[in-house]
Structures are given as structure tokens and as C-alpha cells.
Amino acid sequence: MRDGVNATRLRLPGEGPWDTAMDYMMHRWGHIDPQGIEDRFDAGEIVGEGGIPLDRGTPLTDHTFIWYYRTLPPETRIPVELDILYQDGHLLVVDKPHFLPTTPGGTYIQESALVRLRNQLDLPDLIPMHRLDRMTAGVLLFSTNPATRGKYQVLFEKRQVQKEYECVSAAEPAEGYPAVEFPVVVRNRMTKSRSYLLAEVVEGEPNAETRIEQLATFDAGTAPGASAGAVAGPGNDARRALYRLEPHTGKTHQLRVHMASLGLGIINDAFYPDLLDKAPDDYSKPLQLLARGIRFVDPISGKPVEYRSRLQLSGAAGS
């Protein structure tokens, strides 16, 4: 690991028109930075199992996997901070702010919760137990101990973790949508391909379920950051509401899709119900979605535990 970022692993083909490992890497990425690839081999920065350095002449068939570090472009710091809620020898629980991704990806490498925390706390073995969208804030769990990591992973795999979210939307559905009697359970079948930005509702047996409860209603003008002009999607009226969302499944964008399906698109959602043109982040208008709490029976202590966010949704201030 270097600067909180894992090395990239590359699988080499068992055969082909390449004599050496470097020949194959040149085939894959030589059009981008051929000199950089040669320099890495010369410096011993491309290694096989056990950290054995490769050189320019290492035969292709000597290794199945090799590892190397990507050259990371400079990143502008996202002006938000993580808050540590709890830490012991097994878990780290933080409040992730809006706009900060959970893990490295795309243009965000150093500016991700995982890499920031690895560097800040000197925890190279840190791994997230689940994920929050970049635009979603709230409680996020990490494993700090590889020896006990599997015990917590099993809880998530077996759906033995209860999650609670809050969001702000209109108090009444948008025009054309039926009235909703709360609490309501939304069930449908959702799918999302790697090549398409949005999740979609499709025909078929439900695989996504969320319980939604309306907690309070208030005038939009009483909440800082919740002016009518800040609304993305339907529900652009003077009455807003704070909702509790309890997902029983964990599909990508599930809560955002389920709220939009009721005509109650979450405030400042640039994806649902309508995909807006890509624009620079506006830190004054965060998506009004918060992972408020998470609870489960701790597999190490055997006791029920609950972790709660200390963050507040700006759109619900004054509600």
C-alpha cells in the first residue's frame, strides 16, 4: 500500500504474442505512457508474488499476477471532514459527509473516505463493511482487523444489520401521483447495469423493499438550504417533510428510486426522478439523504449495538 492506496493487480495471460511481462503491459498501456512503464520496471516497482521485482526481460509465463502502483493525478481536496463516532480493535465507525466517496474510484482516489482514514489513522488494513453513495452522508462502518473481518461481513450477507435513513422531500406527492398513506412499504424489482448511470425499475419478482414513514412536515422557508429553487425534481412546493427510510434490501440507489416512485423525489437529487446535466458540486445544496443509524448484534461481544449519526440534514433544520 502506498499513501493509503492498494497496488493494482494485473493478471497476465498464459500465452500470446508477448515474450515478456513488459511486452504485455506495453500492449495494454504503452499508448498512454511507454516511458513510464519502462521506468517502473527499471526501478523494480512492478512485482510478482512475494514482492519479487520484475525487470524488462522477465518472461510472460513466470507470473500469473503482477502488482504495480498507478500514477495518481493531483486531486483538489473536497472541503468536508469525517467525524469518528467509535473505534475499537475490530471496528471503526464514522460520519461520512456528503460529497465524499466511500472508496477510491474515477477521479477520486486520495479524496475518498477509505484513503483519508487509512492515512489519517495509519490503518493500512482498513476495509469498508458497506458503502454509501458519494452524495449520501451518515454512518459508515469499517473493519480494522482482518482476523475478525469475516464475522462482520457475515452479518451484512445474512441481512442481520438494520439500517435507518432520513431524507427531506415534499410533504405531498408531485402532480399526477396518487396520495400516499404513511407508513408505506415500497416493493419492486430494480436493476442497474455497469454501463448505465441510473438504476431502473423493471417487471418481475420484487428484489428491493423499503419502509417509508413521514416524521414531520414544515414550511420550506423555515429550513436553511431548503429554498424552493434548490429542489431537483418534483415536489417543488412550500411544504416539506422529513422521512424515515428503512431498507430491507440494499440495491444501488434504492432509496432514491423508491422515493421518486412515490412522486417524492429527494431534495437536491440530480438523478431521480429526472437526470440533470452534469455540473460541478454545489456544496451548499447536498442531497438531502442521511444514513441516520445502524444496529446489529456485535459478533465479538455478543451484545446489541447501535451507532447514530450526529449530522443533520440542512433541509430539515427548523422542522
Residue ranges of the chain assigned to CATH 3.30.2350.10: 83-221+235-316
Query: What's the whole-number mean pLDDT along residues 66-86?
Result: 89
Q: Which CATH number fits domain 83-221+235-316: 3.40.50.9100, 3.20.20.70, 3.30.2350.10, 3.40.50.150?
A: 3.30.2350.10
Q: How far is CA 73 from CA 70, 108, 109, in A?
A: 9, 10, 9
Q: Please choose, from the candidates 88, 99, 111, the residue with its C-alpha nearest in 3D space to the C-alpha of residue 5.
A: 111
97-116 pLDDT tens trace = 999 999 988 788 889 999 99
Query: What's the whole-number mean pLDDT along residues 233-247?
Result: 78
All residues at 6 or more sequence positions from 216 whose CB lies less than 8 Å from its CB, including other chains: 241, 242, 316, 319
Query: What's the whole-number mean pLDDT along residues 70-88?
Result: 90
Calculate what percentage of the chain has a pLDDT beyond 70: 94
Predicted pLDDT of residue 223: 53
208-217 pLDDT tens trace = 999 999 999 9
Q: Is the pLDDT score of 55 beyond 70?
A: yes
Predicted pLDDT of residue 235: 41
pLDDT, mean over the chain:
90
145-165 pLDDT tens trace = 999 999 999 999 999 999 999
What is the pTM assigned to this prediction?
0.83
245-269 pLDDT tens trace = 999 999 999 999 999 999 999 999 9
Confidence band (pLDDT; 50, 70, 90) for 236?
A: very low
Residue 214 vs residue 5, higher pLDDT: 214
Residue 237 vs residue 257, higher pLDDT: 257
Residue 236 vs residue 306, higher pLDDT: 306
Q: Cell for 279?
A: 455540473
CA angle 225/228/230 to nearest 5° reads 55
Q: Cell for 190?
A: 430494480
Predicted pLDDT of residue 29: 83
Q: Cell for 176?
A: 399526477
Write out the E strands in the chain: 8-11, 65-68, 83-87, 91-96, 127-128, 137-143, 162-170, 184-191, 200-202, 208-219, 239-247, 289-297, 304-308
Q: Is the pLDDT score of 196 beyond 70?
A: yes
